[in-house]
Structure 1
Amino acid sequence: MGGTNRDTLDSIAEDFEEETGLEANMEFKDTYENVLSDTLSAFDSGEVADMFQVDSLFAQQLLDTGNVRPVAEILPDDFDTDEYLDNVAEFFTVDGELASLPFNNSNAIMYINREAFEEAGLDPDDPPSTLAEVRSASETLVEEEVTQFGITWPNHVWFVETWYGFEGELMTDGENGHSGDPSTFHTPDAIHDLYEWWQGMDEDNLYTNPGIEAWGEATTLFIEQEVGMLLTSTASVAGLIADSEDEGFTVDAAPYPGINETRVGPVIGGASFYVPDGLSDERYEEIGQLLQYLSEPEVQTEWHKGSGYYPITQSSVDSLTEEGWFDENPAYAVTLEQLQNGDASDPATKRALLGPAREVQTVIQDKSVDIIGADDIEAEIESMKSEVETVLEEYYE
């Protein structure tokens, strides 16, 4: 929530205060992980915040504490939760009830340097849509000495999850943890293909690894035009457009490249707002006002325009469409179209709901580094599978 995102959120809070007379005191942390760890500690001390913003990755860990109240029970009675886009609400609905308020939600897409593509003789209006096409474009960018590497992205589990989702493959049994406690980590053929491609890109200097969870470093490589393509969050669109203009090039947004032509859908990213249990009825009424305010079409429009996170309600999408916003700002349209083109009913498009999500995340990220540098890819993939399943077993048993 730094930079332009923080400025936009501050503005929304100020408007809420003026409209309601309530005071919204916000405290910003450096990472989602620290919000989570501070909240878990606060449950023990009793000093918990009235609302806290938690990465969707950590949803089950938070729910397993038994210390949160579903926002469905806090929102005003006349609020229609059916307003939320299906692809958004599906993940945050647990046991048939909206557990947390979707807010800053995103999926992973690809950004391209339009001028770099043109200089290399590539068509920026026909960007790569598969891994094979990404490799071909990368080879051209490097061979024509336009950029040093073709592509980069942060080594984060979310990108691997997204490739699973597009293939329609589940990471674990129990429908990614949504229908039961998972015990098995799946490594289908497509994931073997992914890692073989990834290793080849690395060996041929067509891809550069910015580091584990290195969001800023990956973005810097793109803005400094060391790479012609970047995989990162839809939430980066506003910042990337502004930064690229400062550097004298044009950034375009494109759908996330699939392992092959299969495109079932992306998994959701970003975060949502949770509310602790045990507060007074009066306080829940006040919190409910803020939760409802954050979902208003005008607020969602302001948030989307100022950040790039997609609007989460149908009314805000309709308002932006009627205004002509997406026609005038096609990069923003890509983010929403990719979400809505996904099959919300397919369990593979729901982000994994795992109690030990942080531990699973760490294993996949660390093992991805081992795999792309391995002599025996298959052995390292088996090792990743074994380590993830050990984590699941220890948590659930």
Structure 2
Amino acid sequence: MKKNLLFLLMMLILIFVTACSNQANGKEPTDKSAEGQTSDNANAETDETAEVPEEKVEAVFWHAMSGGGQESIEAIVDNFNNSQDKYTIIPEFQGSYEEALTKFRSVGGTEDAPAIIQTFEVGTKYMIDSGFIEPVQSFIDEENYDIKQLEENILNYYTVDDQLYSMPFNSSTPVMLYNKDAFKEAGVDPENPPQTFAEIKEAAEDLTVKDGENTERYGFSILNYGWFIEELIATQGGLFVNNDNGRAESATEAVFNGQEGQRVFQLIDEMNQAGTYGNFGSNWDDIRAAFQTGKTAMYLDSSAGVSATVENAPFDVGVAYIPYSEEAERNGVIIGGASLWMTNSIDKEKQKAAWEFMKFLQTPESQAKWHLDTGYFAINPAAYEEEIVQEKWAEFPQLKVTVDQLQETKPSVATQGALSSVFPEARQQVVTAMENVLQGTDPKEALDKAAEETNRVIEQANRANQ
């Protein structure tokens, strides 16, 4: 009897231990397992029917900014991408303006084209005629975007037949930089820099320093770059090509060899012969180095280069408006740099992404950052009221001079800038003419030859476009 009771007790203990073990291992009775399976299936159905976050629309942005400019634009792109959850802009560096435009020619009008491409100002006519772009005016009209908030003298260049074709981006103008310490040493008033061609010649004579046959410091220099000649012609009210600078209708001939152009080349020729003009070639770094090492006292540079020069020069740097001929009135400057173009072969959502990004770029906050990072103008003048800009201007008042010159420019077909499908070729002809004058060629002869060669390529281009 005792054995039976002991056996029964052991069996009960065994059953109890087994049950506890099953619970510890996560095992449930059969009916409970069925309930768990039903619950899991329900959860799976809920996950499948839950709303999946919509993927962002990606739009590729081809640009030609390197160095600090690339760092700044990529930071602004990141700000845009993080500011909303619908679009992602993908910036891709494509080399120089020329290299980027060459690549674009091969994909324009196809699905492989980027949503946005940055093109230099002299590529404007080509882009309009290419048939590959969607004017930003379409989006401005669609949503009544207030374009008046942006800088008029910058918009003017990219406006053709009352249509804004591209969104201005990195914009600059030429200014004259001068060595204030050299001015004081030569007895020239550093707070009253020369303004006219005649005043430039006179000051350059005082500023030039010679040591026997050697010239230790030249009075004045211009980079061998066609842009500066275009600006010196335009500030006199002169045109580069006919038909209202190619804006009334396509240009058929160059007119930069008129009296305004001849005055510029005459100035260069006379100063070169007098030994007061420094020829430092066509490399930006070379002429900037010449200025910072005291080899030239005055020179023309881009407004975008002012900040770096002021910070790096071992002397006090002054900034002034570009000079003009005393035989004409000062008209102002043409905008340089580049703008952003929207392509028309991408889908509408990518175009929308491109447009939203372009608007984001024009906000005062974005433009203030761009202006301070790079030295380029703020497309939206409200950026100049931002605290960070005001603080910078207080430290470097030279920066405000560049903005004043732009805003005082008189709107006209001269300062609006020329349109030509062969602008790069024309600019190179002007550079060749400058080089020839410095080698002793008569200024008018050099200009006439440059105009003749430009007319030849204009004629070829117009014939090809017919």
TM-score, with length taken from structure 1: 0.92
Root mean square deviation, CA, Å: 2.3
Q: Does 1:142 align with 2:208?
A: yes
1:335-370 Cα deviation digits (max 9, x unpaired): 1111111111x1110111101111111111112211
- Which of 333, 337, 348 is the equivalent residue of 2:404? 337
Are the counterparts in 1 of residues 170 and 339 from structure 2 also a CA contact under 8 Å? yes
Aligned-partner Cα distance in 1 for 2:386–2:144: 21
1:237-265 Cα deviation digits (max 9, x unpaired): 12212222xxx222221111112262012
Farther off after superposition, 141-150 or 197-206: 141-150
Are the counterparts in 2 of residues 4 and 239 from structure 1 also a CA contact under 8 Å? no
Deviation at 1:324, TM superposition (A): 6.7
Secondary structure of 1:112's aligned partner: strand
- Which of 128, 144, 149 is the equivalent residue of 1:83? 149
The match for 1:272 is 339
The match for 1:203 is 273
1:373-393 Cα deviation digits (max 9, x unpaired): 234333222222211211211
Q: Does 1:296 align with 2:363?
A: yes
Deviation at 1:11, TM superposition (A): 2.2
Secondary structure of 2:115's aligned partner: coil
Deviation at 1:147, TM superposition (A): 4.9
Aligned-partner Cα distance in 1 for 2:77–2:294: 36
Alpha carbons of structure 1 residues 239 and 5: separation in structure 2 relative to 1, 3 Å: farther
| Count of matched residue pairs | 392
Aligned-partner Cα distance in 2 for 1:375–1:7: 44
Aligned-partner Cα distance in 1 for 2:218–2:94: 33
Aligned-partner Cα distance in 1 for 2:363–2:399: 19
Deviation at 1:100, TM superposition (A): 0.5
Farther off after superposition, 32-41 or 367-376: 367-376
Aligned-partner Cα distance in 2 for 1:389–1:200: 28
1:9-55 Cα deviation digits (max 9, x unpaired): 23222222221244333223442111211211222775322211111
Q: Does 1:39 align with 2:39?
A: no
Alpha carbons of structure 1 residues 2 and 225: separation in structure 2 relative to 1, 3 Å: farther
Farther off after superposition, 319-328 or 256-265: 319-328
Deviation at 1:144, TM superposition (A): 7.2
- Which of 433, 447, 462 is the equivalent residue of 1:381? 447
Deviation at 1:191, TM superposition (A): 2.0
- Which of 147, 151, 154 is the equivalent residue of 2:223? 154
Tell me which amino acid in the other structure corresponds to 1:162: E
Deviation at 1:327, TM superposition (A): 5.2
Are the counterparts in 1 of residues 234 and 332 from structure 2 also a CA contact under 8 Å? yes
The match for 2:432 is 366
Deviation at 1:314, TM superposition (A): 3.5
Aligned-partner Cα distance in 2 for 1:11–1:204: 49
Alpha carbons of structure 1 residues 329 and 78: separation in structure 2 relative to 1, 3 Å: farther
The match for 2:50 is none
Are the counterparts in 2 of residues 266 and 342 from structure 1 also a CA contact under 8 Å? yes
* Larger RCO, structure (CA 8 Å, separation 6 or more): 1
1:112-133 Cα deviation digits (max 9, x unpaired): 1222222222221111111222
Deviation at 1:235, TM superposition (A): 0.8
Tell me which amino acid in the other structure corresponds to 2:227: W
Alpha carbons of structure 1 residues 322 and 219: separation in structure 2 relative to 1, 3 Å: closer
Q: Does 1:119 align with 2:189?
A: no
The match for 1:69 is 134
Q: Does 1:15 align with 2:118?
A: no
Secondary structure of 1:389's aligned partner: helix
Are the counterparts in 1 of residues 272 and 438 from structure 2 also a CA contact under 8 Å? yes
Aligned-partner Cα distance in 2 for 1:321–1:19: 21
Tell me which amino acid in the other structure corresponds to 1:338: Q
**Quick one: percent identity of the two aligned structures?**
26
- Which of 268, 286, 299 is the equivalent residue of 1:230? 299
Q: Does 1:179 align with 2:179?
A: no
- Which of 221, 237, 251 is the equivalent residue of 1:168? 237
1:315-336 Cα deviation digits (max 9, x unpaired): 3345479947645532111111
Tell me which amino acid in the other structure corresponds to 1:80: D
Alignment of 1:123-134 (within 5 A): 123-134=189-200
Aligned-partner Cα distance in 1 for 2:325–2:387: 32
